[in-house]
Structure 1
């Protein structure tokens, strides 16, 4: 990988992981559009770890509060505020369960798709457009009255099932979980916060599976490329999270929907040329 490719892919991952526009789709499309060979799995793991570090740092106080409250609740203690934090923590755990069950079967689907450039390009275009329209519908039709503490176990499983679909490139993990959150009546800010919190166990699980695959098929590793990629994706992702949560209630999901529609249309046009 040359330096331009490293910087480009790290920036793309950091920017798109927490925006509802699909990081996996962009990581596959970017080398295809710029004429690069598809990057090794090790680089994808590195830039995902960078974004994981960003969300861990950004939500460090929330995570400490939830972990402390969950432990306090297990011991039979905790005030009302702690019980709210504990409940939110358990909802994140419950929402992670579907990916544990469906993740590996859907991963095999992804592996098949990645072997055919034309097929995966059409899939990315279709899911980019289709789930973009679904995001718009949820944003328009949702009541947007509830915060993330109102999520119950049924709603958590609902969001988790939506998240499992995001293994298909172009869907967007953050986009589909925000869509599910909006459908159940969360505000844009609450749906986004829960989506970002849910990213933590999800990226950890995906990283563990990917690392196992790397260990099973060892290859030469460019550690400097991985370090630069992880560091840059961390910085971009942290900034993206902050800006997104600051402005999402004011700007709505429409700009991201329009971007998805335009991107999907351009991809289909290029494929059909």
Structure 2
């Protein structure tokens, strides 16, 4: 890939990974509009790593506090708000891990199509609108509890279907369960750490086993651009979400779904 292609794809990945608008829906658009070939496994590793580094750096204080509290809960059997949240995030990760292993081949074979992505972009966009409209907007992430965390985890597993959006599905579920917009976003972002780390390890393993040639210059540029875009996205999204609500993202998803339907069905 040339540098322009690397920058565009890394920007798309970094900006859409944490917004409720589906990164997979956006990553097929350059191929449709510009005729680009698949970017390859090594580039996927690079941009996913950049997004992971961004969320870890942004929430470094929360993650360190949660990690320490979680260790104390293991050794001394003493729970606090931070250790409970850590346990809930671990619990919420399990459905995606299970269904990822069970349904990985089926999804790759039958669901990775532009038609599926177009439909899920619209359907889950409407669900996001309904959840934001009906939510009580009362609870913080520390008030979610293990049952709500597990339900959000099952929503994250639904995001294995391309076009659903991991962030969109988890925020939708969190809003349905009464979390505030900010709490839903923070919980979703924190949940992304173990999932993204596991995905990066699996894709990295596949890359090593594939023997694919690696363009280290393109990978380094992809990591950097994805990191900067994802960090900025997290920062500004958390600042404006309470005032803006989810409607702009819902309208965007509907427009994107219509565009994708035009490519697929016309």
**Matches of 2:164 and 2:233 in 1, distance apart?**
19
**Matches of 2:208 and 2:110 in 1, distance apart?**
22
1:94 aligns with 2:91: yes
TM-score under structure 1 length normalisation:
0.94
Q: How many angstroms does 1:38 deviate by?
A: 1.3
- Note the alpha carbon deviations across 1:131-156, whole angstroms, 9 max, x for none: 00000000001111000001111111
**Matches of 2:96 and 2:11 in 1, distance apart?**
26
Q: How many angstroms does 1:34 deviate by?
A: 1.9
Residue aligning to 2:74: 74
Q: How many angstroms does 1:77 deviate by?
A: 7.0
Q: Tell me, what secondary structure is at the counterpart of 2:76?
A: coil
**Matches of 1:213 and 1:28 in 2, distance apart?**
21
1:85 aligns with 2:82: yes
Residue aligning to 1:231: 224
Residue aligning to 1:47: 47
Please identify runs of 4+ aligned residues in structure 1 that moved more than 6 A.
none
- Note the alpha carbon deviations across 1:19-52, whole angstroms, 9 max, x for none: 0011122223332322100110210111010000
Match of 1:185 among 178, 181, 189: 178
Residue aligning to 2:253: 260
Gaps of at least 5 residues in structure 2 are none
Q: How many angstroms does 1:209 deviate by?
A: 1.4
Q: Tell me, what secondary structure is at the counterpart of 1:168?
A: coil
Question: What are the equivalent positions in structure 2 for 1:6-17 lying under 5 Å apart?
Answer: 6-17=6-17
8 A contact 1:133–1:257 mirrored in 2: yes
Residue aligning to 1:19: 19
Q: Which moved more, 1:53-62 or 1:149-158?
A: 149-158
8 A contact 1:106–1:168 mirrored in 2: no
Residue aligning to 1:244: 237
**Matches of 2:104 and 2:237 in 1, distance apart?**
29
**Matches of 1:71 and 1:255 in 2, distance apart?**
40
**Matches of 2:24 and 2:220 in 1, distance apart?**
20
How many pairs align?
A: 266
Residue aligning to 2:31: 31
Q: How many angstroms does 1:207 deviate by?
A: 1.1
Match of 1:168 among 161, 169, 173: 161
**Matches of 1:41 and 1:107 in 2, distance apart?**
16
TM-score under structure 2 length normalisation:
0.96
1:109 aligns with 2:102: no
1:136 aligns with 2:129: yes
Q: Which moved more, 1:188-197 or 1:164-173?
A: 164-173
Q: Which moved more, 1:101-110 or 1:54-63?
A: 101-110
Q: Tell me, what secondary structure is at the counterpart of 1:75?
A: helix
1:252 and 1:60, CA in 2 relative to 1: closer, same or farther beyond 3 A? same
- Note the alpha carbon deviations across 1:159-199, whole angstroms, 9 max, x for none: 11110111111100000000010011000000000000000
- Note the alpha carbon deviations across 1:206-247, whole angstroms, 9 max, x for none: 111111211221111111101100110000100000000000
